[in-house]
A and B are shown apart, each in its own frame.
Chain A
Amino acid sequence: SQTIHQWPATLVQPVGSPLSLECTVEGTSNPNLYWYRQAAGRGLQLLFYSVGIGQISSEVPQNLSASRPQDRQFILSSKKLLLSDSGFYLCAWRADRGLKDTQYFGPGTRLTVL
């Protein structure tokens, strides 16, 4: 079966510091990968998605970047965090092929920027 991991689970960072969040998927190959942010009281906002290694699409201009160095690894980064980057970051995967065209989410990383 497929599993998705995210770490760290919780992170508190000062404004201006760098960020690196990691997501890995097991049990599937060539997944589509997604990064979302969920702010308090708001829905999920798609930040980046990737259909393959080195292929990154950005949904919104912002202080963040994403990379996919390996087939099942997706990284969210920032060089300098802003207060507005605080939120719950979720990684999701979608099977490249299969009956259900939907996405499955990881446990999330709660980021607080102070």
Chain B
Amino acid sequence: QKEVEQDPGPLSVPEGAIVSLNCTYSNSAFQYFMWYRQYSRKGPELLMYTYSSGNKEDGRFTAQVDKSSKYISLFIRDSQPSDSATYLCAMSVWITGGGNKLTFGTGTQLKVEL
């Protein structure tokens, strides 16, 4: 079993729809939870960052963490064609000797159509 599971999609939605992206994880040691957005042939860019259970909102984006269920979600409201990208969930643990290590989901490919 992978430490982080994410549906690869592709997910296709009409413009203006609410998008729900999800990841489940098995490692209770994960402390911080992130969502990255990756456009084709580009490096991932940090979209959302959370460290506790509950919701965090930033504009049209809401990140949700449920540590008891080991489940995280990203909601996109009023989706736009510019949101078309691959969305990667990531979770971090401390590394012995300093620093952190991120474990990524495989990414969900999203297409928002006009």
Contact = CB atoms under 8 A, between A and B. Distances in A.
Nearest to A109: B43
Interface stretch (A11-19, A44-52, A60-68, A75-83): A44-52
Contacts of B104: 43-44
Interface residues of B, number: 29
Interface SS of A by simple majority: strand
Range class of the A interface residue count: 20 to 34
Contacts, number: 62
A27 interface: no
A21 interface: no
Nearest to A108: B43
B8 A41 contact: yes
A101 B88 contact: no
Interface in A26-55: 32, 41-44, 46, 49, 51, 55
